[in-house]
Structure 1
Amino acid sequence: MAGDKRTELLTVRQVLDELGGISRRTFYRWRELRLAPACIRLPNGELRVRRDVLNDWLEERAEGAAT
C-alpha cells in the first residue's frame, strides 16, 4: 500500500558508516553535547536512528543550505 512504508531504523554502526566512519566515541560525545541526530532507545537498551531523521539532520548541516 502506498504511504504504508515503514521508516528504516539504522543501528549506530550503520550511522557511523554513513557518516564516513566516525568513531563510536565521537558519536556518543555528540549525543552528550546534543549534536547527534535524535535516537530511539529500544527496550533492550540499543539505539536506533530513523532514516528520515538522519537525512534531515545531514541536510540541516549542509553548507550553503537554504534556511
Structure 2
Amino acid sequence: MNRRRELLTVAEICAELNVSRRTFYEWRAKHRAPKCIRLPNSELRIRRSDLEDWLGDHETD
C-alpha cells in the first residue's frame, strides 16, 4: 500500500464514517476518536491501521 494513502485526513475520515467534522472533534475532545497524528502545520492525520483498529474495538455482536 502507498504510505501516503495510509494517512487519512479528517475530511476523509468524516466522509468514510458519515459523521460531521464537529462530531469527529467532539469525539476527539472526549478521547473517543481514533488515534491522530498532528503534523507540524497543525493538521491531523489518522493512520488507516489505527482507524481499522478503532472500528474493530467498536464492533458489536
Q: What is the TM-score of this pair, normalised by structure 2? A: 0.90
Q: Percent same amino acid among aligned pairs?
A: 56
Aligned residue pairs, count: 60
| Structure 2 residue 39 is matched with structure 1 residue 12 | no
Which residue of structure 1 lines up, in the alignment, with residue 53 of structure 2?
56
* Structure 2 residues not aligned, in runs of 5+: none
Of the two, which has the highest radius of gyration?
A: 1
2:39 is equivalent to residue 42 of structure 1: yes
Gaps of 5+ in 1: none
- With structure 1 as the length reference, what TM-score do the two structures score? 0.82
Provide the alpha-carbon RMSD of the alignment: 1.6
Q: Give CA deviations for 1:5-63 in whole Å, capped at 9, x if unaligned.
A: 6370000000001102x111110010000000010000000000000000010011011
Moved over 2 A (4+): none
Secondary structure of 1:58's counterpart equals helix
